[in-house]
Structure 1
Amino acid sequence: MPPLAPTVKLNNGRDIPALGLGTWQATPGEVREAVKHAIDAGYRHIDTAAVYRNESEVGEALQEKFKEGAVKREEVFVTSKLWNTCHRPELVVPTCKKTLADLKLDYVDLYLVHWPFAYKIECHPYLNQKKLIEFCKQRDIVVTAYSPLANPSITMPAGGLPLLQNPKLKLLAAKYKKTVAQVVLRYVFQLGTVPIPKSFTKKRIEENIRIFDFELSNDDVTDISKLNKNYRVFPHAQAKHSKYYPFHDEF
């Protein structure tokens, strides 16, 4: 039995596993295997969404693991999301039912509005969101950290160094005998968030959940926090002139 992630208490009393598998950007067939690998590696939190267009494959993978007896439905925390074009009240229930049908589940554990307009909490060392996280903690709100590895597939502007190539993080990885990604995920977790790293590679899926057997020192957390540059992977700049654009606020 692989070690499981610890859980975090939500303000409704439910527990959410402290690390989940993100499923965005999967090619056909890829996410099915990723979810199965994740379950085998000890993941009990799967994050998906209707707009990812792969909920059927996620559901197929979950059903396979249920039938194998590898895990029970009540042991897996499944999150899905309502897309922007379905916010009208009369569309919410049918859209949710479509997600349930695609996932082949009777219920999801968490159903989010995907973007009320702002993105959810993007959080990584280049955008550590400390003010927002503290704001949420004061109101007993758990923050999900999406793109916790700053989406390595996206080229940074002005020749910036990708997060996973940062020399300070490489030194810390050597110090703790961990990968750079594990150090980053542990940092985001220690900030008080629930990271949902995406990977479709079996080895990385297994590595990404192995962040609960070590702890970054306070000094190292402080040093990583100094890497913050308010860099957003998803700035949604095309909407910056809208009065509803959220990123003009301090958080």
Structure 2
Amino acid sequence: MGSVVLRTGQRMPLVGLGTWQAAPEEVERAVEAALEAGYRLFDTAFNYNNEEAIGNTLKRWIEAGKVEREDLFIVTKLPHIGNRASDVPKYLDKSLKRLQLSYIDLYLVHMPFGFIPDATGDVPAINADGSFVLDLKTDHNAVWKAMEEQVDAGKTKAIGISNFNISQMERLIVNSRIHPANLQVEMHAYLQQKELRIFCETNGIVVTAYSPLGSPGAKQHWQKKYNYSPENFPDLLGHPAVQQIADAHDRTPAQILLRHLVQQHIVVIPKSTSPERIKQNFKIFDFELTPEEMEILNNLDHGEQGRILDFGFFKGVENHPEYPFKGTKKDTHNAVNNVFSSEEKQVAKPLNALCVQNV
């Protein structure tokens, strides 16, 4: 199994199991299947409400001697309702308790923007109009200093960020004692984030791609949880170019999309609750895409028009001063639909030098 080395010296597996949208009863079975398939990287978050289920499965395997804790790489995240320095240790302790672990391998600030929690302290407060109560005093530098203290305390081995843009990361790096080890962002064939990746490579930050398959289950999840329904939703797995390359290698379209990222040393965390797909998603280290195939997939990139997740389901989030897509937010889903429908049958064009940067 391939891995990348973090600035801490830790080896982070290149393929892990994503657990966003997975209900607790589903995630226990999924983690079990993933462990059996050889996965050792597991990604979760306080916001996913499934840390306890993941912890139950990990505890069973560790106590049975089927896996050593040191062989696992567990990632979880500080929630958007905890983006205050005083809340960092509180929410990390909650995650440790739920996961039944004494330390986390990588702890991420989940969102650059902050919300005010409701009376329970576990979910955001909501205004009368359905919008989220924003914490307009979000201070990244103060939060990061508290994150550094968690490393000092031995509660996490590494710290990083998720969904931050370049300018937000620049501010952190300039003011930090422990630089971010990892950035987790949406990344797939339609949104390849080349400028962001070059910045991370230059600054020694490993990139993790969430939604590497285009998050085919997200639309239904948003409809059910937030009553938020984007009009159009792109289909990466059904793209003719992806299917053609899959046929050439006798692989699934998912394996091709994952291999495309992993071959560029990007960590991927595809989510699945199907044991068979979990196994398939892990079997991407015994073949390699040709330079021509990589070029075809590289050329599917549509920049910001390819973004699926702009957090529009958090009503009013664009009004937060640290909303990461200011100046880039647009009617992404309509744009995506128009661009992709016009290119379904096209053959990839040659890339310029920027597009073939390897991270």
1:200 is matched with 273
Q: Secondary structure at the match of 1:16?
A: strand
Q: Which amino acid aligns with 2:292?
A: D
Residue 226 (1) aligns with residue 337 (2): no
* Paired residues of 1:127 and 1:229 also in contact (CA < 8 A): yes
Residue 170 (1) aligns with residue 243 (2): yes
2:104 is matched with 108
Instruction: Work out the CA distance in 2 between the residues paired with 1:73 and 1:161.
Output: 38
Instruction: Work out the CA distance in 1 between the residues paired with 2:277 and 2:111.
Output: 28
The alpha carbon displacement at 1:48 in A equals 0.7
Cα distance per residue 1:31-68 (max 9 Å; x no partner): 00100110110001000111111111000000111122
Q: What is the RMSD computed on CA atoms of the aligned residues? A: 1.8
After superposition, where does 1:43-192 map in structure 2 within 5 Å? 43-117=39-113, 119=163, 120-154=184-218, 161-192=234-265
Q: Which amino acid aligns with 1:206?
A: K
Higher relative contact order (CA 8 A, sep 6+): 1
The alpha carbon displacement at 1:232 in A equals 1.2
Q: Give the alignment's TM-score, normalised by structure 1.
A: 0.92
Choose from 305, 322, 330 the match for 1:244: 322
Cα distance per residue 1:156-198 (max 9 Å; x no partner): 9665650000011000001111100000000111233100000
Instruction: Work out the CA distance in 2 between the residues paired with 1:182 and 1:203.
Output: 13
Aligned residues: percent identity?
41
Instruction: Work out the CA distance in 2 between the residues paired with 1:191 and 1:249.
Output: 28
Instruction: Work out the CA distance in 2 between the residues paired with 1:192 and 1:79.
Output: 18
* Paired residues of 1:150 and 1:233 also in contact (CA < 8 A): yes
Instruction: Work out the CA distance in 1 between the residues paired with 2:311 and 2:50.
Output: 23
Residue 210 (1) aligns with residue 286 (2): no
Residue 26 (1) aligns with residue 22 (2): yes
* Paired residues of 2:112 and 2:322 also in contact (CA < 8 A): no
Q: Which amino acid aligns with 2:253?
A: V
Instruction: Work out the CA distance in 1 between the residues paired with 2:238 and 2:264.
Output: 21
Q: Secondary structure at the match of 1:235?
A: coil
Instruction: Work out the CA distance in 2 between the residues paired with 1:126 and 1:201.
Output: 24
Q: How many residues align?
A: 246
Cα distance per residue 1:112-151 (max 9 Å; x no partner): 1011237241100010111211111111110010000011
Q: Secondary structure at the match of 2:186?
A: coil
Instruction: Work out the CA distance in 2 between the residues paired with 1:143 and 1:86.
Output: 23
The alpha carbon displacement at 1:90 in A equals 1.7
Instruction: Work out the CA distance in 2 between the residues paired with 1:180 and 1:106.
Output: 38
Q: Secondary structure at the match of 2:325?
A: helix
* Paired residues of 1:133 and 1:192 also in contact (CA < 8 A): no
Q: Secondary structure at the match of 1:112?
A: strand
Q: Give the alignment's TM-score, normalised by structure 2.
A: 0.65
* Paired residues of 2:2 and 2:14 also in contact (CA < 8 A): yes
Instruction: Work out the CA distance in 1 between the residues paired with 2:208 and 2:242.
Output: 22
Structure 1: any 5+ residue segments left out of the alignment? none
Structure 2: any 5+ residue segments left out of the alignment? 114-161, 164-183, 220-228, 329-359
Instruction: Work out the CA distance in 1 between the residues paired with 2:53 and 2:236.
Output: 30
* Paired residues of 2:311 and 2:317 also in contact (CA < 8 A): yes
